[in-house]
């Protein structure tokens, strides 16, 4: 499934993409996203938050999005759970993993994935669907696929340990 990343694109362009059949949009900046969500109310769009989650953003994420791909902590997950309006149903979520172990990147460590995902899985207002990663950029296809493969392996492992994840969120325009 293609998630069209629409950050920095105006609502008028999203509408054109929608007319061409795109239904899922990924946004990074919360206030920019909410403006577009309001402007495009009435279109059957699934809104995905892919930007950094901070404590002061969780309420807006919980209220406005169908998905959040960038959960990196139990603390933020609890806030999203607590702040999810009743009636909207659980928000779909991915846990962001720092798959290439880069000091500058957000995301949990691979070795913490089981503990954190098991905790998040207990939260009724969150439906933990999978893992997200932004691998380090690389020049060789095989190296790039290696990171994607690692994320897939982690997902399979977690699923044998009691999780039930059906989603891997990965890939950008610049990928090989």
Ligand X SMILES: *Cc1c(COP(=O)(O)O)cnc(C)c1O
With binding defined as CB under 6 A, does residue 2 bind ligand X?
no
Which residue lies nearer to ligand X by CB, 8 or 122?
A: 8
Report the C-alpha gap between 107 and 149 in whole angstroms: 17
The footprint of ligand X on residues 30-89 (CB under 6 A) is 50
Which residue lies nearer to ligand X by CB, 9 or 18?
A: 9
Q: Is 126 helix (H, G, I), strand (E, B) or coil?
A: strand
| 26 DSSP β-pair partners | 5, 48
Which span sits near ligand X by CB under 6 A: 30-38, 59-67, 150-158, 168-176?
168-176
With binding defined as CB under 6 A, does residue 173 bind ligand X?
yes
Which residue lies nearer to ligand X by CB, 69 or 79?
A: 69
Find out whether 60 and 34 touch, Cβ atoms under 8 Å.
yes
Report the C-alpha gap between 18 and 30 in whole angstroms: 20
With binding defined as CB under 6 A, does residue 28 bind ligand X?
yes
The footprint of ligand X on residues 104-163 (CB under 6 A) is 134
With binding defined as CB under 6 A, does residue 5 bind ligand X?
yes
Which residue lies nearer to ligand X by CB, 106 or 118?
A: 106
Report the C-alpha gap between 52 and 167 in whole angstroms: 19
Q: Which residues bind ligand X (CB under 6 A)?
A: 5, 7, 28, 50, 134, 172-174
């Amino acid at each position: 499934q293609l998630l069209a990343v629409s950050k920095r694109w105006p609502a008028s362009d999203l509408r054109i993409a929608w007319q061409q059949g795109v239904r899922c949009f990924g946004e990074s900046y919360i206030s920019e996203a909410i403006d577009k969500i309001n402007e495009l109310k009435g279109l059957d769009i699934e809104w995905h938050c892919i930007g950094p989650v901070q404590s002061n953003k969780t309420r807006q994420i919980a209220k406005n999005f169908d998905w959040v791909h960038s959960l990196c902590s139990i603390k933020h997950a609890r806030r999203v759970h607590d702040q999810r309006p009743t009636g909207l149903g659980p928000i779909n979520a991915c846990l962001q993993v720092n798959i290439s172990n880069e000091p500058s990147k957000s995301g949990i460590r691979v070795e913490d994935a089981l503990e954190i995902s098991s905790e998040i899985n207990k939260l009724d207002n969150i439906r933990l669907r999978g893992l997200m990663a932004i691998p380090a950029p690389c020049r060789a296809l095989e190296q790039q696929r290696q990171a994607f493969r690692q994320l897939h392996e982690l997902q399979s492992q977690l699923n044998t340990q009691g999780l039930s994840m059906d989603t891997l969120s990965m890939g950008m325009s610049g990928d090989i």
